[in-house]
Amino acid sequence: MLRIEHLTKKYGDKAAVEDLSLHIAPGEIYGFIGHNGAGKTTTLRSVAGIQQFDEGEIFIDGVSLKEDALECKRRMAYVPDNPDLFEYMSGIKYLNFIADVFGVSATDRKRDIQDLAERFGLAEDLGQPISAYSHGMKQKLALIGALIHKPRLILMDEPFVGLDPKAAHLLKTMMRELCDQGGAIFFSTHVLEVAEKLCDKVAIIKDGKLVRFGTMEEVKGDDSLEEVFLELEAE
Amino acid sequence: MLKLLIKKQFSEMYAGLFFDQKKNKARTRGGTIAMIAMTVLLGLGVFGVMMTMLSNAICGPLTQAGMGWLYFTIMGLMALLLGVLGGAFAAYTHLYKGKDNDTLLSLPIPTRDIIASRILSVYFTVGGMVLVALLPAVIVYWITTGFTAGKVICGILFALAVSLLALVLSCLLGLLVARISTKMKNKSFVTVFISLLGMGLYYLFYFKFMDFIRTLTSSPESFARLEKIPGLKFFGQAGEGKWLPLLVVMALSLSLAGLTLFLLVRSFKKIITAADSVSRVKYKAREAKQKAPLRALLGKEKSRLTTNPGYMLNGAMGSIFLILLAGAALIKGPELMAHLGPAGGNMAKEILVIGAAGIIAFLAGSNNLTAPSVSLEGKQLWILKSAPVESSSVLKAKLGLHMIVTGVPVLLASLCCALVLKPGLMGGLLLILFPLLYILLFGAFGLMMGTLKPNLNWSNEMVPIKQSLPSMMTMFGGWFYGAAIVGLYFWVGQKMGGYLFLGIATLVTALLAGAVLLWLMTKGSERFDAL
């Protein structure tokens, strides 16, 4: 589903991500952990086609991001760590805009927006301007926006920040549902307990380089993910 | 604390002068000086030259007649007009709409310092306009009447006093707009309406006053009456170098500025934390029509414009003037044409067509929607960049909005002028084509500048709208281009025939527009991808 080959992204002379390779198969929830500034967001933004990278290749379902960025973007969705949305729009206007650029039909979008908004408890607030939303409401709206075109791959940067417990639980359920239907999820998090419970695979990044990756069992063995992470950080 | 806030405010406003976003590093000292020189030159180049010419024309006769005070009254009021024009639309957004309101209020910073730093930011726009208008007048006065230390000090202090008065008027209008808009639904349109109403009343008063002065100065015996108008002579004498009037004007402007600061500080928290007084309405699901991506992008640009009063007032004012021009042409045009009669023949008609095309282009040139458009994406740029749309489509939508908002009023004004002037097929075609191509050229040019020099890290949207290099270069560049065409007409155009000249100007404008559009669709899209 997602193949990252030798990804390198530099800011000036400093490499934010260096020679990173990772494969994510359909049906997998892949956790991405690392300290602040380790290169998680840079990797996710590169895969989402938001920022250009210096070396390497990224393939979504075998399609090269460099050669056909639009086709890759049609198959995935990205949810940033800080949901900066078009504050001059109402929630429904934003969702209709996203549905338009992803080519979602009028009938499908009406059904899916209503369904997702009700599940996230946002249905009654969709007419309000986004500028009046709380952080958590914006996060929910960003998630609905990411889900309405039924992407095969979802990239999420710290998706649980700002969500209330009910919404966080719902998101976990939906992540699993999407992967059970053949989709894949690649997300970063600092909440190691969530990663440990939710992820099929996990990758740990340190100073722009992958230091460990594989199935949860391969990465943590008999220890907790937190212990492994702290041990790697201390090295 | 105030110093820190001012530093923050100015580093944001003029980040482009000191930091190269493309290279992600600070500019060299030479680069910074070159950028500042270019910015100052652009500002001084247009208004400075105009005001110097005007000052030169009236300073000698008035000072020789012992009416130096009248010279300063006229120039001072003109500078005041320019200052309020430059600052009034920006004041509301500058003072109240900062994205860092919550952050600043949560820090141990006195409200007085927050508002003072923002007032200073407004002052930079207002003061800049006043000084560009008034300093040439003061310098011409020194040259005409001779330098003395007293005159130099008085001239500078007078310019400062006028700039403070312009600041006070701008800030009070900003406060009025803020007060009213907190209680209203459709805040953006209410804000725009109040601002326009305020400006309209101000201009009405101003022009009536100037008319009044003109009437009085038309006969020598009227001077005595003019001198009796309370405060008028006193105000002018302050610029002339009389110490007592100067001290009074300075004291008055400083007191008014202090009072304004007090009023703004007192109401600041209440205004920016005012809850939405409009009741929340539960959303009821309904089916929305599916739009093509380009139409969706255009709709997004339209939403941004119609929900942002600062953007509307600073970026689309020309459209209102164009509609007014269309109305004036239909109402007053036939009368004017009857007055001119057939005396001038074809030559006069050609001049009128070129004049009308020039005025329409000039008014349309004050619309500046595309230059700040890329910067206004700010931190929301990720949405467009992660969506499956070509960068060229994003740029097309931005230019498309400019063409709709400016092009329709241009077409209306051109058609109305054509109806009145009856210039024949060729003249009518040129009257419509030249302004349309002109707005296409400068819409595309603004977008090019905005793509080359974006500022995505603003905390107040007025920074990219009003105080950015792309906005300044586009507006002044458009005016400079128009002035160059007028100059060329008087130099060579009259000899070759008006329509032939306008035809060539239209063709050159079309070619330039084509070149900029080609850049936008190729290199410009690549630049956007790399942001």
The pLDDT score that the predictor gives to residue A47 is 93
Q: Which residues of A151-164 are buried (b: 16+ CB within 10 A; e: fewer)?
A: bbbbbbbbbbbbbe
DSSP string, B409-456: HHHHHHHHHHHHH--HHHHHHHHHHHHHHHHHHHHHHHHHHHHHS---
Residue at B216 is within a domain:
yes
Mean pLDDT of chain A: 89
How many of the other CB atoms lie within 10 Å of CB of B213?
18
DSSP string, B268-288: HHHHHTPPP-SPP--------
Residues B246 and B310 in one domain: no
Interface check for B529 against chain A (CB to CB < 8 A): the answer is yes
The pLDDT score that the predictor gives to residue A216 is 84
Residue at B42 is within a domain:
no
Please report, as a single letter, which amino acid is at residue B404. I
The pLDDT score that the predictor gives to residue B28 is 65
Among B310, B411, B314, CA closest to B368 = B314
> For residue B344, what are the domain limits?
293-530
pLDDT tens readout for residues A108-127: 898 899 999 999 888 888 98
Interface check for B274 against chain A (CB to CB < 8 A): the answer is no
Count up the domains in chain B and report the number.
2
Residue at B288 is within a domain:
no
d(CA A214, CA A200): 9
pLDDT of B343 above 60: no
Residues B424 and B525 in one domain: yes
Instruction: Extract the tokens encoding B427.
Output: 């003249």
Among B429, B367, B373, CA closest to B398 = B373
Set of chain B residues whose Cβ sits within 8 Å of the Cβ of A104? 290
- Inter-chain touch B287–A93, beta carbons under 8 Å: no
Set of chain A residues whose Cβ sits within 8 Å of the Cβ of B382? 45, 48, 50, 78, 80, 84
d(CA B390, CA B384): 9
DSSP annotation of B27 reads P
Looking at this predicted complex, what is its ipTM?
0.85
Residues B263 and B350 in one domain: no
DSSP string, B445-499: HHHHHHHHS-----SSTHHHHHSSHHHHHHHHHHHHHHHHHHHHIIIIIHHH-HH
DSSP annotation of B522 reads I
Instruction: Extract the tokens encoding B76.
Output: 């001072």
A29-34 and A184-188 as β-strands: parallel, antiparallel, unpaired? parallel
Residues B465 and B345 in one domain: yes
| Whole-angstrom Cα Rg for chain A | 18
Residue B383 pLDDT grade (very low, low, confident, very high; cuts 50, 70, 90): very high
Q: What are phi and psi of B275, to 5 degrees?
A: -75, 155
pLDDT of A43 above 90: yes
The pLDDT score that the predictor gives to residue B10 is 65
Residue at B480 is within a domain:
yes
Residues B256 and B325 in one domain: no
Residue at B30 is within a domain:
no
pTM score, whole prediction:
0.73
- Inter-chain touch B386–A109, beta carbons under 8 Å: no
Set of chain A residues whose Cβ sits within 8 Å of the Cβ of B385? 48-51
pLDDT of B270 above 90: no
Interface check for B288 against chain A (CB to CB < 8 A): the answer is yes
Please report, as a single letter, which amino acid is at residue B463. V
Q: What are phi and psi of B70, to 5 degrees?
A: -70, -35
Residue B289 pLDDT grade (very low, low, confident, very high; cuts 50, 70, 90): confident
Residue at B19 is within a domain:
no
A209-215 and A201-206 as β-strands: parallel, antiparallel, unpaired? antiparallel
The pLDDT score that the predictor gives to residue B40 is 63
Residues B104 and B159 in one domain: yes
pLDDT of B102 above 80: no
Q: Which domains does chain A have, with CATH numbers?
A: 2-234 (3.40.50.300)
d(CA B528, CA B12): 21
Residue at B483 is within a domain:
yes
CB proximity list for A136: less than 8 A, separation 6 or greater: A162, A163, A164, A167
Residues B475 and B420 in one domain: yes
- Inter-chain touch B25–A128, beta carbons under 8 Å: no
| Whole-angstrom Cα Rg for chain B | 25
Set of chain A residues whose Cβ sits within 8 Å of the Cβ of B25? 12
Interface test with B, best of A97, A150, A154 (most B CBs within 10 A): A97
The pLDDT score that the predictor gives to residue B69 is 84
- Inter-chain touch A88–B308, beta carbons under 8 Å: yes
The pLDDT score that the predictor gives to residue B16 is 57
pLDDT of B161 above 60: yes
pLDDT tens readout for residues B512-526: 999 999 999 999 999
Q: Is B14 helix (H, G, I), strand (E, B) or coil?
A: coil
CB-closest option in B289, B299, B387 to A106: B289
Interface check for B186 against chain A (CB to CB < 8 A): the answer is no
Cβ-based contacts under 8 A for chains A and B = 107
Interface check for B459 against chain A (CB to CB < 8 A): the answer is no
Mean pLDDT of chain B: 81
Residues B103 and B155 in one domain: yes
Q: What are phi and psi of B455, to 5 degrees?
A: -125, 100
pLDDT of B112 above 80: yes
Residues B244 and B379 in one domain: no
pLDDT, mean of residues B112-122: 85
Residues B208 and B313 in one domain: no
Residues B228 and B344 in one domain: no
Among B432, B433, B416, CA closest to B337 = B416
Residue at B435 is within a domain:
yes
Residues B444 and B358 in one domain: yes
Is B50 exposed, middle or buried, given 0-12, 13-18 or 19+ CB atoms closer than 10 A?
Answer: middle
The last residue of a domain, from among B218, B238, B272: B272
Interface check for B275 against chain A (CB to CB < 8 A): the answer is no
Q: Give the range among A156-165, B41-50, B417-426 with minimum mean pLDDT.
A: B41-50
